Chain A
Amino acid sequence: MTGSLSKSLLLAFLIVVSAVSLLPFVWVTLNAFKSNGEIFGGSFSLPQEWLWSNFEIAWTKGRFSAYFLNSVGSSIAATVIGVIVACPAGYAFAKLSASRSQLLFWAYLFGLTLPVQAIIVPLFYQLRGYGLTDNIWGLVVVLVGTGTPFAVFLMRSFYRDLPNSLLEAARIDGASEWAIFSKVMLPLSMPGVLALSVFTFLTAWNEYLLALLLLQSEGSRTIPTGLVAFANADLPQYGPLFAGIVLAILPSIAVYVILQRSFTEGLVAGSVK
């Protein structure tokens, strides 16, 4: 039997692949502590002196403090508003018979399928007309709008799985439709709310195209657009740039490590449902 031999070969293969895949993280982190001279001196050495000042330069002169605030603010706002509008709508689609209109369904399906890249041009001029460019609220409302079809379909699938008998019992007791939704159905759909929140937050946190389009002034940039602008500056300071990359990566990894299950569930549900 070659079973145990092939098992250890597979294991060795996985270890090598994991090491290669994680190498960029190690390299970026080490470079974040090096001086420009050391970075040009080659990749395979530890920093002679661990330069925490690189992080300070990125945070202050590189304006990462502002980018960070904009990213946190816009992501939280897009998540809170996105989830609040999607839950009742998803519930209506799942449980209220008057929502079973074909026109409405097709409008949401159209929104789900249409890629945002197709409408970036009119979106920019529309938002500029509202005075919402260079303002994180402009990014927030567009993220909610382009994300709401998916969010509604996701919540609909969670509400559809809840038994109708609960609903009918509450109606016989004379509960209002809003009370049935908010007191009975919403608490039961919390796993869905959590998955949707994680997914929406990550989508907002990682958004690049819309942030580039709508937030062009330096003070309104988010981490993704701010980091790219910092990297493409005329005279890049490499140490602070790598420190900036670490600052951009760290929150995502922290969220992943803390919320691992909802994280992958949110992402996978986000794409498969």
Chain B
Amino acid sequence: MSGAGTSSANPPAASGSASAPRTIRRRRPRDGGWLVAAAFLFPSAVFLVLFVLVPTGQAFYLSLFDWNGLAADMNYVGLGTFIAAITDPRLLASLLLTLIWWIMHLVLAVGSGLLLATIIARLTAGRAIFRTLLFLPHVLSLSVVGVVWAQIYHPSIGLLNDILKSVGLRFLIQAWLGNTNTVLPAIGVASAWQAYGFYMVIYLAAIQGISRELYEAARMDGANVLQEFWHVTLPGLYNATTTVMVLAFISALKGFGSVWAMTQGGPGTSTELVSVYLYREAFQYGEVSKAAAGGLILGVIVIVITMLFNRWRDRGMHS
């Protein structure tokens, strides 16, 4: 609230210098000044302050202590908790796993989405039908997807083992979610099933935005389908791809829903994404302060990565 009040108190004339001023702005009639703007912004700003900015401040506060969530007295330790968090091998392992998840998601979900989008874009009829059908899994929430796929991977009633049995691949049958070698790709496939339709729709829109003439020119030069894809389609998808990279990264954080529904981070810590680590640390192991500090570290990482990708995208737009 105070943020909204003080910041919108700037006189209109001063704010013009902050961003590129347009001549129209100077001739505009009075728009009520900061009081009107503050009134328009106030309800939204209250929610932003209370449930985003205050908790962020609280996370800093909590991380200065060594609190287990129960004790009446909080023990001030300064930066000790931060150091404990940053040197916790489990936090580092969970960040690494989140990175691996991101790459897996790019290959499985984004890769399939891009492939399907390029194929559907070549169809002359039936585009809408395939778009609708293939998008369908994306309407489910990740936790519901987790429950569905936990049954598909079920050792005794699971669809996957039943399929393997019926095509003579009995030796592959196993408890997919109980084996540390198969559990991560198994959850990766489940999440990719939920997500590929979404990337497909983004890429389909981007492909349809590429000029027809470029394709005709490529064909005149005798380019084959692969050359056409490499030299015309891919460069035309630059902006969509930088956006998708960030979205795929966010999905590695959202992976909490499917992981918690399927394995709760296990077996052991083999599917402990950073979001799962934070939840377990705070609410199962009572390391509240450490989890608060870990959350701040995650926040900084995400903000830095998002800024890097946005810069990358802006550069692409100018060149």
A115 in contact with B299 given A97-B31, A121-B291, A168-B28 (CB within 8 Å):
yes
B144 contact set on A, CB distance < 8 A: 206, 223-224, 227, 245, 248-249
> Do residues A231 and B150 form an inter-chain contact, with CB atoms below 8 A?
yes
Interchain CB contact under 8 A, A148 and B159: no
Decide: A117 and B50 in contact? CB cutoff 8 A. Answer: no
A77 at interface by CB-CB < 8 Å:
no
Other-chain residue from B12, B39, B243, B288 in contact with A121 (beta carbon distance below 8 A): B288
Q: Which residue of B lies closest to A112 (CB)?
A: B306
Docked CA distance A97–B45 (Å): 17
The answer for the CA separation of A148 and B260 in the assembled complex, in Å, is 26
Query: Known: A24-B159, A98-B8, A115-B302. Is A206-B141 also a contact (CB below 8 A)?
Result: yes
The reply to whether B295 and A17 contact each other, CB–CB distance below 8 Å, is no
How would residues 6 to 27 of chain A score, 1 for a CB under 8 Å from any chain B CB and 0 otherwise?
1100110110011001111101
Pairwise interchain contact B44-A86, C-beta atoms closer than 8 A: yes
Interface size counted on chain A using CB atoms at 8 A: 103
Bound state CA distance, A91 and B123, in angstroms? 41
CB-contact partner of A17 in B29, B116, B283, B303, under 8 A: B116
Contact yes or no, B157 A271, CB < 8 A: no
A103 beta carbon closer than 8 Å to chain B: yes
B48 to chain A, nearest CB (A): 5
- In the complex, what distance in Å separates the CA atom of A71 from the CA atom of B157? 29
Contact between chains at A145 and B140 (CB < 8 Å)? no
Q: Tally of A-B residue pairs with Cβ under 8 A?
A: 316
Q: Take A43-B159, A120-B278, A272-B243 as given contacts and tell me if A255 and B139 are in contact as well, using a CB distance cutoff of 8 Å.
A: yes
Q: Are A14 and B58 in contact (CB under 8 A)?
A: no
In the complex, whether A72 has a CB less than 8 A from a CB of chain B is no
Query: What chain B residues lie within 8 Å of A220 (beta carbons)?
Result: none
The residue that B134 contacts in the complex, of A18, A28, A93, with Cβ under 8 A, is A18
Q: How many residues of B contact A (CB 8 A)?
A: 109
Residues of A contacting B: mostly: helix
Near B by CB (< 8 A), chain A positions 83-108 give: 84-86, 88-89, 91-93, 95-104, 107-108
Q: How far does the Cβ of B227 sit from chain A's closest Cβ, in whole Å?
A: 15
A92 contact from B41, B48, B51, B291, Cβ within 8 A: B41
The contact string, 1 if C-beta is below 8 Å from chain B, for chain A 111-137, is 101110111111111100000000000
Query: Is A59 an interface position by the 8 A CB rule?
Result: no
- Is B316 among interface residues, defined by CB-CB distance under 8 A? no
The yes or no answer to B33 lying at the interface (CB within 8 A) is yes
Q: CB-nearest residue of chain B relative to A41?
A: B157
Q: Which 7 A-B pairs have the closest CB atoms?
A: A145-B51, A206-B141, A122-B58, A118-B299, A89-B44, A92-B40, A98-B37
Please give 14 more A-B residue pairs, beta carbons under 8 A apart, in addition to A119-B295, A208-B256.
A14-B123, A22-B136, A84-B43, A88-B43, A89-B44, A110-B303, A122-B295, A145-B52, A202-B139, A208-B142, A224-B144, A252-B141, A253-B139, A271-B243
What are some 6 contacts across the A-B interface (CB < 8 A)? A40-B156, A43-B159, A146-B52, A228-B146, A241-B147, A248-B147
